[in-house]
Amino acid sequence: MDKVFINGLKVDAVIGVFEWEKQVHQPLLFDLEMAWDIRQAAATDDLAFALNYAAVTEFVENFVQQQQFELLESLIERLASALQQEFAIRWLAIRVEKPAVVPQARAVGLRIERGEC
């Protein structure tokens, strides 16, 4: 299966369990990989048959910015489900980083896979 990817998507979000975190925007970095059969898009050179990564990017930005989560786990799980539903994506992997949370690390985060490839 072919895969479309978006790497290093930065989205500012209100996320965290501590009160100070609920008052500020923090950057999150997303890497997405989505299964998509590109053959019809390639054969026709028609965007209608492609997974439109600009639309996916906008969807992720809106989803993250319009909601508030305490846990990355909640955010990433709901985002995966929403993306699969909105774009009919059979399989996807999402990696999210929350930079500068742990002083000893560049970032902390999660990676999940959902669906069948």
For residue 13, the model assigns a pLDDT of: 94
Token look-up 């925007």 returns 25
Any catalytic annotation for residue 98? yes
List the CATH number of the domain containing 80.
3.30.1130.10
- Which run of H or of E encompasses 72? helix 72-87
CA triplet 62, 107, 31: central angle to 5 degrees?
A: 45
Region 76-97 average pLDDT: 98
Give how many domains the chain has, as a whole number. 1
pLDDT digits (tens, 9 = 90+) for 25-52: 999 999 999 999 999 999 999 999 999 9
- Tokens at residue 64, please? 């993250």
Among the listed residues 94, 97, 98, the one whose alpha carbon sits nearest the alpha carbon of residue 111: 94
Distances (CA, A) of 93 to 4, 54, 61, 83, 116: 11, 17, 17, 11, 11
- Find out whether 87 and 79 touch, Cβ atoms under 8 Å: no
Kindly tell me if the per-residue pLDDT of 82 is higher than 80: yes
The overall pTM is greater than 0.85:
yes
Please give the residue range of the domain that contains residue 13: 3-115
DSSP string, 18-63: SGGGGGS-EEEEEEEEEE---HHHHHHT-GGGS--HHHHHHHHHHH
The pLDDT, as a whole number, for residue 89 is: 98
Asked whether the predicted pLDDT for residue 18 surpasses 90, the reply is no
pLDDT on residue 28? 97
